[in-house]
């Protein structure tokens, strides 16, 4: 009897498993809102506020909405497509979601490129630099994106290791992208800790600092102020964005953070403050910053509730009107 019962149990479980696989049930589904809600959301994106910027990488069509564009917090302003640019012919579902968050939710989509002239089959001189600038612009226009995120990580011995050559590239790209172009397309430069050419500011919409907790175990308002002070002579605070590597620090929304006044407690819940929230709260002494953001922020979807720390930071920087 025990043997027969066990066999019957295995058959039932196996049949159930096969049925589940065949049904392809949609386990999760995002909220749906009215046209008025989306119109208000797009209007908010165009208003004067601290923007939320993020590099998003893990997008696919799995059941988890942590890997869907539609699963992102609605109030994110700029998405840098770190996982590549979806093609309609390769994955129409992902492409349609990408268009939805851009056209309906008002998120602006930019192409991230670690800029490097070498390895592109172009002359290593100013002529090649112009060819490379045209290539970068073409990425944006051919894919109907909203701008370019130029990641400057100079490598010793390369052509763009030279800050003057990088400045030339920015000017070349600025003919078609950025505030000087008249196209409405964004031109963004992001960097870690390098000394930037001071002449590039008029051509940029935003300067994004990778203010990551890296090589340390905490972050602070004093650190952010030091980072801004390095560019303060030429970059106004309303173009400056600070970002954390949430890919490494998603469990708490960053590393332990200390504000300039020594505070370490979040007013939201009375618990320890962490760096994503700290970055949202922080402003340089010179004025209000452009915004804050995060690298690999998609991992915050694993928090409870999903995107707990990204949503908190957005609310902290831009409190809802009551």
Q: What is the CATH number of the domain that holds 166?
A: 3.20.20.80
Q: Which domain holds residue 172?
A: 110-210
Please tell me whether residues 224 and 102 are part of one structural domain. Answer: yes
Distance linking the first and last C-alpha atoms of the chain: 67
Q: Could you give the percent of the chain with pLDDT greater than 70?
A: 90
pLDDT for 71-102, tens place per residue? 999 999 999 999 999 999 988 999 999 999 99
Please tell me whether residues 229 and 102 are part of one structural domain. Answer: yes
* Residue 2 within a domain: no
Please tell me whether residues 99 and 240 are part of one structural domain. Answer: yes
Out of 55-64, 241-250, 300-309, pick the least confident: 55-64
pLDDT for 271-317, tens place per residue? 999 999 999 999 999 999 999 999 999 999 999 999 999 999 999 99
* Residue 13 within a domain: no
Out of 2-6, 142-146, 286-290, pick the least confident: 2-6
Out of 32-36, 91-95, 102-106, 252-256, pick the least confident: 32-36
Please tell me whether residues 230 and 322 are part of one structural domain. Answer: yes
pLDDT for 218-236, tens place per residue? 999 999 999 999 999 999 9
Rounded to the nearest 5 percent, the helix, strand and coil shares of the chain are 40, 15, 45
Please tell me whether residues 141 and 235 are part of one structural domain. Answer: no
Please give the full DSSP string across 35-94, using - where no structure is assigned. Answer: HHHHHHHHHHHHSSS-EEEEEE----SSS-GGGSGGGS-TT--EEEETT----TTT-HHH
Please tell me whether residues 198 and 220 are part of one structural domain. Answer: no
* Residue 25 within a domain: no
Scanning 174-274, the segments in alpha helix (DSSP H) are 221-229, 246-249
Please tell me whether residues 52 and 97 are part of one structural domain. Answer: yes
* Residue 150 within a domain: yes
pTM above 0.85, yes or no: yes
Last residue of a domain, which of 210, 243, 267? 210
* Residue 20 within a domain: no
* Residue 15 within a domain: no
- 105, 93, 99, 91: which is closest to 31 by C-alpha? 105
User: What are 274's strand-pairing partners?
Assistant: 256
User: Does the pLDDT value for residue 7 go beyond 90?
Assistant: no
* Residue 90 within a domain: yes
Please tell me whether residues 125 and 94 are part of one structural domain. Answer: no
Last residue of a domain, which of 190, 210, 230? 210
Over range 121-125, report the average pLDDT: 96
Please tell me whether residues 227 and 180 are part of one structural domain. Answer: no
Q: Please state the domain count of the chain.
A: 2
- 92, 90, 136: which is closest to 110 by C-alpha? 136
Please tell me whether residues 54 and 142 are part of one structural domain. Answer: no
Please tell me whether residues 269 and 135 are part of one structural domain. Answer: no
Please tell me whether residues 186 and 140 are part of one structural domain. Answer: yes
pLDDT band at 29 (very low <50, low <70, confident <90, very high): low
* Residue 22 within a domain: no
User: Does the pLDDT value for residue 5 go beyond 50?
Assistant: no
Last residue of a domain, which of 192, 210, 228? 210
User: What are 320's strand-pairing partners?
Assistant: none
């Amino acid at each position: 009897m025990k043997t027969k019962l066990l066999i019957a149990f295995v058959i039932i479980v196996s049949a159930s498993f096969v049925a589940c696989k065949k049904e392809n049930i949609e386990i999760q589904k995002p909220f749906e809102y009215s046209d008025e809600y989306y119109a208000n959301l797009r209007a908010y994106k165009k208003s004067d506020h601290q923007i939320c910027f993020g590099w998003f990488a893990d997008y696919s069509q799995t059941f988890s909405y942590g890997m869907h564009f539609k699963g992102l917090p609605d109030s994110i302003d700029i998405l840098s497509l770190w996982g590549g640019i979806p093609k309609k012919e390769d994955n129409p579902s992902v492409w349609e979601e990408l268009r939805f968050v851009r056209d309906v939710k008002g998120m602006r989509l930019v192409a991230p490129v670690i800029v490097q002239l070498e390895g592109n089959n172009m002359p290593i001189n100013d002529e090649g630099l112009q060819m490379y600038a045209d290539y970068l612009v073409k990425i944006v226009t051919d894919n109907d994106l909203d701008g370019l995120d130029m990641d400057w990580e100079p490598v010793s011995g390369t052509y763009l290791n030279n800050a003057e050559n990088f400045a030339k590239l920015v000017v070349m790209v600025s003919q078609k992208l950025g505030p000087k172009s008249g196209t409405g397309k964004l031109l963004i430069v992001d960097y870690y800790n390098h000394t930037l050419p001071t002449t590039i500011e008029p051509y940029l919409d935003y300067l994004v600092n990778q203010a990551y907790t890296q090589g340390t175990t905490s972050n602070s308002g004093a650190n952010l102020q030091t980072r801004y002070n390095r560019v303060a002579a030429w970059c106004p605070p309303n173009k400056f964005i600070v970002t954390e590597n949430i890919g490494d620090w998603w469990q708490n929304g960053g590393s332990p953070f200390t504000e300039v006044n020594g505070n370490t407690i979040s007013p939201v819940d009375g618990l320890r403050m962490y760096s994503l929230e700290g970055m949202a709260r922080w402003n340089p002494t010179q004025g209000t910053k452009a915004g804050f953001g995060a690298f690999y922020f998609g991992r915050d979807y694993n928090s409870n509730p999903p995107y707990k720390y990204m949503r908190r930071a957005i609310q902290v920087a831009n409190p809802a009107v009551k």
